[in-house]
Amino acid sequence: MQDQLQKWQQGTGNKTIIVHCNNGVGRSGTFCGILSLVELLKVEGVVDVFLKVRSMPITSKFVQTLTQYRFMYDALLVYLDNFDTYANFK
């Protein structure tokens, strides 16, 4: 999903992407948080979901429930599982 989003953004000349939530802020905050955490994971190789989300200005107010944190954590695990499946580090 993130790769498709980046390709789409590049196709628009790297214009800003607006994320709009149909129920307030919970879903969009979780979505933006996952994208940000994946980027951090790529750069740092490790990420503390709770601490990073709380320190990000855009998501710190929007991710409010344990279910949202759990979803973000699980999404990162799925990302890592897929990455490990296709990566060739040997």
Residue 74: the pLDDT is: 93
Spatial neighbors of 29 by CB under 8 A, at least 6 apart, are 21, 58, 59, 61, 62, 63, 64, 68
Residue 47: the pLDDT is: 86
Whether 33 contacts 63, CB under 8 Å: yes
Tell me if the pTM is above 0.85.
no
Structure tokens at 71: 């979803």
* 8: region left, alpha or beta (phi > 0 left; psi from -120 to 50 alpha): alpha
Q: Mean pLDDT by 10-residue block, N- to C-terminus, for the chain (90 residues)?
A: 73 77 77 85 85 74 84 90 59
Structure tokens at 67: 């279910």
